[in-house]
Amino acid sequence: MQNRTSEIIIVGGGAAGLAAAVLCARNGLDVTLLEQNDRLGKKILVSGNGKCNIGNRTISPKRFHSQNPAFVKKVLDGYDAKVIETFFHSIGLELVEGKEGKLFPMSMQAASVVELLEYAAQEAGVKIVCSCAVNRIDRVDNHFTLETSQGDYKTKTLLLASGSVAAPKLGGSSSGYAFATRMGHTLVPRHPSLVQLVSEERWVKQCAGVKLPGVATLFANGVQITQKEGDLLFTPYGISGLAILDLSREVSLHLAQFDYCELSLDLMPRFSKEQLTNLLVGRVNAKSQKPLSLWLQGILHKKLVARILEVSKVKAKTESELNRKEIGKLVYALKHLKLSIADTKGFEHAEVATGGVDTTEVDPETMMSKVVENLYFAGEILDVDGNRGGFNFHFAWISAMRAAKATSAPASSDTSTSV
Ligand SMILES: Cc1cc2nc3c(=O)[nH]c(=O)nc-3n(C[C@H](O)[C@H](O)[C@H](O)COP(=O)(O)OP(=O)(O)OC[C@H]3O[C@@H](n4cnc5c(N)ncnc54)[C@H](O)[C@@H]3O)c2cc1C
């Protein structure tokens, strides 16, 4: 097959690759975008439950994780939510703010994000090649040669925007890591994050389907690590819900060190210990022979009642048999329900991966490799992951903007002029 050349080749038509392609082409570069899937932006399409939480108003380095926090700080510098809004406005997409500073497309449709990015890329002249998996990259005479499922390509400038290993059904792949290491880069270990947790405790299965607001505290080898508030959702395999996704990163890291991970669940976070005690005491009718399990159903989902009665070890069988000591045991169980964690649901179900290309080897100003000239990175392939709330997309867009600015002709000064 013939060897096609392009001024810049971008590997990966996800968030970072698409944004970079639009900006590079608008800056006058001849751009080819190679995407292994049959369509662009599959992760964008499913993100935010189909609404795409595209960014966040409250950008701060504290919302991101990396072994090199100084890199994240420098990349974020000057690239806040306004920059994202300006870029999306330039492609015809308006954003609106939801709870906790989360930004969404005004259409509330992830599909509109992908369609407008794709249109902007085509309009700017990007050559988009879908169903094109890059299988091998070599550096020959100051050029990169790419072996793909659709023949060979050659370029002087290469942008790896091939994402992370998370969510393989949507294009998650470790191929970008392999290309980077082959060219001399090192990797920070990858672990699933923003992911559901697996528990082998039998009672959890029996509670499957129960969802309630709560607080989850993670203990690793008995030491408190972190605490998150939000929905708790019991499932046939373990536990999910927003509070769980938010602490899953820490669980992943501790499980990888073979630490014993246990959650302590507060099922009644709206009540302090004293308030809950008063509530329960006030509910007791000393003359009632109501079974204790039914009495508890007055405040708790039926499926959880059996577990609370079991772990609290109350002796009372009826409401009338309850005394202050027994109520104290119930209060403790309701606010400290223990759940051992065996595993996470893995990369298959994770929204993002921790780790990636070591950012000490990448210039935060330009996203260019310090190891290989004219090799650039953008997005989740790098050792940067964000909290839930639009932070992962934020990093994808702004790292793409930095790479586009650096790879474009010297005449183009910054993204504010190029968008
Ligand atoms: C279910 C789900 C929901 C999410 N929701 C949100 C959200 O609401 N807000 C948020 O901020 N983040 C969210 N994320 C995370 C967000 O999607 C990612 O952080 C973001 O997409 C990373 O962008 P990227 O361009 O680096 O990688 P990707 O978007 O993954 O793009 C990489 C692309 O490269 C392609 N590719 C990989 N290897 C090759 C190869 N060898 N050859 C050719 N192509 C290749 C892949 O197919 C893929 O299309 C969610 C993730 C998932 C899985």
Q: Report pLDDT for 70.
A: 98
Residues 388 and 410 in one domain: yes
Cα(155) to centroid of ligand 1, in Å? 24
Expressed as residue numbers, the domain containing 152 is 3-189+355-418
Residues 169 and 255 in one domain: no
Q: Are 192 and 232 in contact (CB under 8 A)?
A: no
Residues 251 and 170 in one domain: no
Give the pLDDT confidence of 315-371 residue by residue, as tens digits. 999 999 999 999 999 999 999 999 999 999 999 999 999 999 999 999 999 999 999
- Domain boundary (315, 345, 375) is at 345
φ, ψ for residue 400, nearest 5 deg: -65, -40
Give the pLDDT confidence of 13-43 residue by residue, as tens digits. 999 999 999 999 999 999 999 999 999 999 9
Residues 88 and 221 in one domain: no
Q: Whose CA is nearest to atom 22 of ligand 1?
A: 380
Mean per-residue pLDDT, 279-286: 95
Quick check: CB of 133 below 6 Å from ligand 1? yes
- In this structure, is residue 318 part of a structural domain? yes
Quick check: CB of 29 below 6 Å from ligand 1? no
Q: Flag whether the pTM goes above 0.85.
A: yes
Q: What is the DSSP string of 221-252?
A: TTEEEEEEEEEEEE-SSEEESHHHHHHHHHHH
- In this structure, is residue 402 part of a structural domain? yes
Give the pLDDT confidence of 117-133 residue by residue, as tens digits. 999 999 999 999 999 99
Residues 222 and 300 in one domain: yes
Mean per-residue pLDDT, 247-276: 98
Residues 52 and 200 in one domain: no
Position in ligand 1 atom list of the atom nearest CA 135? 41
Q: Are 218 and 404 in contact (CB under 8 A)?
A: no
Residues 229 and 207 in one domain: yes
Residues 10 and 89 in one domain: yes
- In this structure, is residue 350 part of a structural domain? no
Q: Are 187 and 177 in contact (CB under 8 A)?
A: yes
* CATH number of the domain bearing residue 85: 3.50.50.60
Q: Could you tell me whether strands 385-386 and 223-234 are parallel, antiparallel, or unpaired per DSSP bridges? A: unpaired
Cα(168) to centroid of ligand 1, in Å? 10
Cα(47) to centroid of ligand 1, in Å? 9
Quick check: CB of 326 below 6 Å from ligand 1? no
pLDDT at 408 over 90: no
- In this structure, is residue 121 part of a structural domain? yes
Quick check: CB of 148 below 6 Å from ligand 1? no
Using DSSP's 3-state secondary structure scheme, residue 341 falls into strand
Mean per-residue pLDDT, 131-143: 96
Q: Report pLDDT for 343.
A: 98
- Domain boundary (316, 345, 374) is at 345
Residue 35 has which token pair? 């995407």
Q: Report the residue among 63, 146, 150, 162 best suited for mutation to probe ligand 1: largest number of ligand atoms under 8 A from its CB.
A: 162
Position in ligand 1 atom list of the atom nearest CA 18? 25
Q: Report pLDDT for 165.
A: 97
Quick check: CB of 17 below 6 Å from ligand 1? yes
Residues 138 and 174 in one domain: yes
Q: Residue 124: how many CB atoms within 10 A of its CB? A: 18
- In this structure, is residue 98 part of a structural domain? yes
Counted domains in the chain: 2
Q: Whose CA is nearest to atom 29 of ligand 1?
A: 14
Residue 76 has which token pair? 């974020």
- Helix/strand/coil percentages in the chain, nearest 5: 40, 25, 35
Residue 68 has which token pair? 């090199």
Cα(44) to centroid of ligand 1, in Å? 7
Give the pLDDT confidence of 182-240 residue by residue, as tens digits. 999 999 999 999 999 999 999 999 999 999 999 999 999 999 999 999 999 999 999 99
Q: Report pLDDT for 409.
A: 53
Cα(161) to centroid of ligand 1, in Å? 9
Mean per-residue pLDDT, 290-318: 96
Mean per-residue pLDDT, 162-186: 97
Q: Are 404 and 120 in contact (CB under 8 A)?
A: no
Give the pLDDT confidence of 62-116 residue by residue, as tens digits. 999 999 999 999 999 999 999 999 999 999 999 999 999 999 999 999 999 999 9
pLDDT at 415 over 80: no
CA angle 53, 161, 87 (to 5 degrees): 50
